[in-house]
Structure 1
Amino acid sequence: MTLDWAAGSGRLSAGGASLEWSTWGSAPGRDPVIVLLHEGLGCVAMWRDFPEALARTTGCSVFAYSRAGYGQSDPCALPRPLDYMTREAKDVLPDVLDALGAERVFLLGHSDGATIAAEYCGLVADYRVRGLCLMAPHFFTEPQGLEQIARARDAYSNAGLQAKLARYHRDPDCAFWGWNDAWLSDGFRDWHVGEVIDHLRIPSLVIQGHQDTYGSIAQVDEVVDRSYAPVEILVLPDCGHAPHLEHRDAVLMTIVEFITRLERIEAAEVETVCKR
């Protein structure tokens, strides 16, 4: 069942769970829809005013949803399996995109959401997806990233992070421990999904903060070295793990240029085919 875009928000069924969603901009039409996939502790509300600015700046429709265990969506079973991002890509995101009812889509993911977006395009043949925007993606674990996640555990238990997350998640324990326990489990140290990049056949834009403590430039290099399709890069100085919040204008401008260029190329290809 296609969701009611005009409602602005609602719930949809995907992967066996009821998930919250919100929209910005006009209903899907000729222009593509940008689908936002949030970070490991994120949700619809934690995108703040970025989706509205994205819709206004690009002229595209924008759609965001909270995965199970986050925001106001249904809780998830704990502990999360170590391949939870792969399962989100294969078992949940297809249902979300079907409910969206858009003919053309750009996936824009942040952190865990970027990994899920890349896995989807590397594992699922979906010709609706025209391009990928990956902000602070991770394809393998790094010592400094695991150290930062361990610090987050202390902050959640002792430094007020639980109260902060409770403003956004109806079950902050589910949101936090589902993410934190998975990343800090012994089995996750060998986690590596870089092979999905080998199967990407659409252009990617990778955005990374130079001071990101969760992942290094090595994550960007993984995409550049392995992708068969074109890759564009934006590395931002004086920027941590949230480029869209820390350097919003630069991120918006780069995304606009990326989408505009791909739209122009696709239009030219269609015109050439028609003339033949």
Structure 2
Amino acid sequence: MEGRIIDVNGKKLYTEYNNSFKNKPTIVFLHDSLGSTQLWRDFPAKLAEATQCNTLGYDRLGYGKSFPMLTHERENNYMESESDLLNDILNELNINDVILFGHSDGGTIALITASKYPEKIKAILCEAGHIFVEDVTVKGVKDALEAYKTTNLPERLQKYHGDKVEMIVKAWTEIWLSDRFRTWNIEYLMKNITSPLLFIQGEADEYGTLDQVEKTISQVSGNAEKFIIPNIGHTPHKENPKLVLERSKEFIASVLNS
């Protein structure tokens, strides 16, 4: 698919938009804290084919083929800011009928967006998202930072992010490991979510416990389901793509047929 750079509020962002299915929703894929459009691999195309829905993927500022960040320093509400930017992207591309599929930070951004802009969001698939900070999350980020310092992780990331790798690793690890972020919590937003929700989580997720799932689905106002996968970690769509595709397809079909 042809990708292109769009300018949204002065931010130059790489997008891949496939809108070949007329009068069908667009599944918007929101990547994780070290991810990019490219790192979703063929998962979006397969889900598009299975559901006959359009797809939009984009690299957040600083990631993938988007332009670099101006600074690595993040405010506590950085994911709330990303949800506002996502709304502006949807306006720019004139997309009003949206299914969000977010992984990790992207899952959190999906939840926030659905709470703030419910009129656009038809459904949410939140994979391994967070609504508060846990000890296991902090340990996971510390372990990732150690891997960045001691393995070939920088070279592997460079393939997708070029010379922006150090900036995105700093941006992610510094905020999540800071004392000021320990109190970050968006549970208060959950009641504003009225769209149907599927929360996908690996039982062995190294970045979050099942408390993230239970506290999310118990507090949203719309219908909420969970899909917990045994022996799977933080990236179910990569660790067992067939299973996640099948469950996602079922969920989307149930939303579109309701």
Normalising to structure 1: TM-score of the pair? 0.89
Q: 1:164 aligns with which of 150, 156, 165?
A: 156
Aligned to 1:21: 15
Aligned to 1:179: 172
Aligned to 1:240: 233
Structure 2 CA distance, aligned partners of 1:16 and 1:231? 36
Deviation at 1:184, TM superposition (A): 0.6
Q: CA RMSD in A?
A: 1.3
Q: 2:120 aligns with which of 110, 128, 139?
A: 128
Deviation at 1:155, TM superposition (A): 1.1
Contact kept? 1:139, 1:219, Cα under 8 Å:
yes
Deviation at 1:27, TM superposition (A): 2.7
Deviation at 1:257, TM superposition (A): 1.1
Structure 2 CA distance, aligned partners of 1:28 and 1:97? 17
Aligned to 1:59: 52
2:136 matches 1:106: no
Q: Which moved more, 1:153-162 or 1:106-115?
A: 153-162
Instruction: Please give the secondary structure, in 2, of the residue aligned with 1:190.
Output: coil
Deviation at 1:15, TM superposition (A): 4.0
Deviation at 1:106, TM superposition (A): 0.3
Q: 1:11 aligns with which of 5, 15, 25?
A: 5
Q: Percent identity?
A: 33
Contact kept? 2:72, 2:168, Cα under 8 Å:
no
Aligned to 2:244: 251
Q: 2:25 aligns with which of 24, 28, 32?
A: 32
2:82 matches 1:82: no
Aligned to 2:145: 153
Deviation at 1:99, TM superposition (A): 2.4
Aligned to 1:206: 199
Deviation at 1:235, TM superposition (A): 0.3
- Which consecutive segments of 4 or more residues in structure 1 shift more than 4 A? none
* Deviations 1:98-147 (CA, angstroms, capped at 9, x unpaired): 123233110110000010111111123x4221011100010111111101
Instruction: Please give the secondary structure, in 2, of the residue aligned with 1:54.
Output: helix
Deviation at 1:179, TM superposition (A): 0.8
Deviation at 1:191, TM superposition (A): 1.1
Structure 2 CA distance, aligned partners of 1:61 and 1:225? 30
Q: 1:41 aligns with which of 29, 34, 42?
A: 34
Structure 2 CA distance, aligned partners of 1:28 and 1:184? 43
Structure 1, unaligned stretches of length 5 or more?
1-6, 266-276
* Deviations 1:153-199 (CA, angstroms, capped at 9, x unpaired): 11112212111111110210111111111111111111111111111
Aligned to 1:118: 111
Deviation at 1:253, TM superposition (A): 1.1
Structure 2, unaligned stretches of length 5 or more?
none
Contact kept? 1:136, 1:208, Cα under 8 Å:
yes
Instruction: Give the number of the structure whose alpha-carbon radius of gyration is greater.
Output: 1
Structure 1 CA distance, aligned partners of 2:246 and 2:73? 39
